[in-house]
Amino acid sequence: MTGAAGRLGVAVASGDGRRRLLRGGFGQTLDTIFGSGILAMCAGGSDGSELWWSTGGQFARLHAYDMFIQGQREIARPRLNEDAKGVGIRCLTGSSAGAPTLNAPIVTMSSSTSNDSVLLWAGLRNGVVMAWDCDLGKLLSTDIVLASRDKAVTAIAPIDATRAWVGCEDGTIVEVHAPATKPDSSWSYSGKCFKTRDVFPADAHERPSFGEPRENSKGVRCMIHNANEGSDGFMFIACERDLFLEIWDIADATCVRVEALDDLGAVVSLMQHPTVRDLIVSVHETGAVQLWGGDKCAVKTGDRVMTITPGFKQVEKWSLAPFSKYFGKTVIGAVAVENVLVIGHASGKLTIWSLPGAQELHDTTLHSETLASSPASASVTVRWGKRVAHESGLVHLTKIDGGGSLGVVTVGRFGSIMYWPLAQLESGLGKGRKPRPMLGTPSKMNEDRLKPKTPESGTLSDTARIAYEHIKLVQKIGEGSFGRVYKAKWNHIDVAVKFIGPSDIDVTASGLGRSLEELEKEVSIMTKLRHPNIVLLLGVVMSPRPAIVQEFCVRGSLYTVLQRHAKSGAPELTWRLRLQMALGAAAGMLYLHECTPTVLHRDLKSANLMVDRYYRVKVGDFNLSRAEIVASSESAEFSGNLHSPSWMAPEVLCDSQYSKASDVYSFAVVMWEIQSLQTPWKDLHIYQIVTAVPDGERLDPTATHGVVFHEAKAYQDLMMRAWQQDPAVRPCFEQLVEEVTTLLSAEIARDPQLKKDAKIQFFQRERFHQAA
């Protein structure tokens, strides 16, 4: 693939922590000159870990890069079926003569902020709006919406998982609704016809002013939705080159307030405060940054809260030079990541500001004191710094938060794309910046009750105990078997912190005291295990919330890796990598079974197999029976459970008889996942599985996905031997390691290039570990 789409392989890391996702060059330079470069970009996907962008040209073209697997997905160009031309297309404004088409580039994009939503909105230069399913990599339906005839869509602001407001070049605002249902944990979009509602028509003579003269107002520049739970909330809207900020009531579709920006300049970007959801942040063409009160805030919606910086130039000069967006300090956009605001300038530089958090703003919630009268607001210390993102100039930047990536992605004028992790951005703020409050910090009313025991008052060894205050939580990365999982920093290294049980768990409860003590002893033993295919356990946090601290694997779980490669257009997962991952899991399990005393996993499944940067699989969450007791807030002895029946052996489902052979059965199901890239027994209810497996039913051993595997017969035979009904005849992990190694060697020998690549990767890993 050439042109602006570039050629994306494994991201290349630089010495300062940033990663180059796409290298610009002559082809990308020509694309930019002739208008087919990158036009819009946003994060998408159910967990926000995919980077989606559009390129110019005659047709609407989208590209996607999965930050989690660090690979590009092939996204087919959207087309309308010949028999569906004009069907379902709505002409909401302008003339209805002639059906709108997709023969125009995508110039604005936005994804839903709701959890588990896969909806991505895209606006075209000819006024068409369409919705994409990020998981499937295709249009939601052939039904598209014409928001404004021949006037570009300039802003899209999602309201929830199904609705969005669309703003256009001529000032039109339309609400679009994609019918959907959420039966379980993910959204399912259905129906061919979108529902629409006119908010502000194109034929309106002037925008709402409430008596204020508005001379420069043009098309919509940016919008942001702000709401608290149980409310539709408000939409903040800024127009192009306009010195006013509009606040609209979403339920009534009416403008309720207009705020003058004479001292700040026209708005370039609007965003929610990343940690104080009641506040809105605006960035202006003058470089000014302003905080505004949002829905159900302590101040009125639309009131000014704090000016972070007055800007770098006078308001009167903001409209000079029609081509100023290509030069100098001109602001082209801004994003907020946690308590860091990043402003992009046309020169290629980034200005980084620290945003005051809830602690510094005296907790701006519905029940807090009015910020305007708070004496602390004037004493907030704001830090700032600079970074050079692209020497050629900057055209786009967007936030990425998902799949282990948290930071900002920037696009250079000649097509290069860079990823800046949050830690690198924070390092540019300089010394003396006030520390951000950690996630999960206990409230004052619980501080005394949740204080950890001192060494004098405790009777346990502290060899495996880690103090909570020594951990800095970075971001939530998923839900584990026991509770929420966070990426964190401990002793300047990345770790995974697995909190056990609900957030309001009472660690002083008498029923949990003994279980927590046994958990600490259990983890203390596990921390002594060392093997390349075992997740390294580092210790346990006892209060204010019990948690397990372990090695962080950048690619997440094997389940996640397999599911991402199963997506439409995702890069193929080669059999060399599949066998390499299967061998890693088997080798880790062999080590556990040969320990003295023997360590049984009891819950072996793809979600508990972690994958590092080099696709090496490491066994995790083994033998932590006490963690399950704490997580369920029970004091009874562990006697088996049904939280993972799809991977459980028949004897475990019937009598909770765990053994080495039951772990082998679970590994056979993992082998089936690696071959099929599917979820086992996904169409059966838990109670159907409990009945079917003991009765001898098994998964289809021939289920496959992707490239042809020449040793498929031998692989399937091994898998079926490992899930036999009788535990006594199942192979042990030593046999499994030997046979998977034979299959991997045969696959490498079949292709000389694979053999060469395997040697190169081996030496690269060796150099990496020696350097570490």
pLDDT tens sequence across 178-189: 866 444 444 445
| Rounded-to-integer distance, Cα 555 and Cα 70, Å | 9
Residues 6 or more apart whose Cβ sits within 8 Å of residue 146: 89, 90, 91, 92, 93, 94, 100, 127, 128, 129
Q: Could you report the per-residue pLDDT of 56-104, keeping only the tens digit for each?
A: 766 667 888 888 777 777 787 766 543 334 444 444 443 344 556 667 8
Q: What is the mean pLDDT of residues 539-543?
A: 81
> What is the CB neighbour count within 10 angstroms for residue 27?
16
The pTM score is: 0.70
| Rounded-to-integer distance, Cα 473 and Cα 487, Å | 6
| Rounded-to-integer distance, Cα 290 and Cα 245, Å | 12
> What is the CB neighbour count within 10 angstroms for residue 362?
18
Q: Mean pLDDT over all residues of the chain?
A: 75
| Rounded-to-integer distance, Cα 261 and Cα 264, Å | 5
Does 498 count as an annotated binding residue?
Answer: yes
- DSSP assigned state of 335: E
- DSSP assigned state of 465: B
pLDDT score at 628: 45
Terminal alpha carbon distance of the chain: 35
| Rounded-to-integer distance, Cα 174 and Cα 515, Å | 56
Q: Which helix (H) or strand (E) holds 19?
A: strand 19-22
**Torsion-angle region of residue 325: left (phi > 0), alpha (psi -120 to 50) or beta?**
alpha
> For the chain, which domains are there?
38-79+86-205 (2.130.10.10), 460-771 (1.10.510.10)
Six-digit token string for 394: 């900057």
Rounded (to 5) percent helix, strand, coil in the chain: 25, 30, 50
| Banded pLDDT at 589 (limits 50, 70, 90) | very high
pLDDT score at 87: 40
Q: Could you report the per-residue pLDDT of 127-162, keeping only the tens digit for each?
A: 888 888 887 777 776 667 888 877 899 999 998 888
Judge whether 551 and 536 are in contact, CB under 8 Å.
yes
Judge whether 187 and 135 are in contact, CB under 8 Å.
no
Per-residue DSSP letters for 234-266? EEEEEETT-SEEEEEETTTTEEEEEEE-TTT--
438 has pLDDT over 70: no
Q: What is the mean pLDDT of residues 546-569?
A: 86
Mean pLDDT lowest among 82-86, 108-112, 287-291: 82-86
> What is the CB neighbour count within 10 angstroms for residue 7?
12
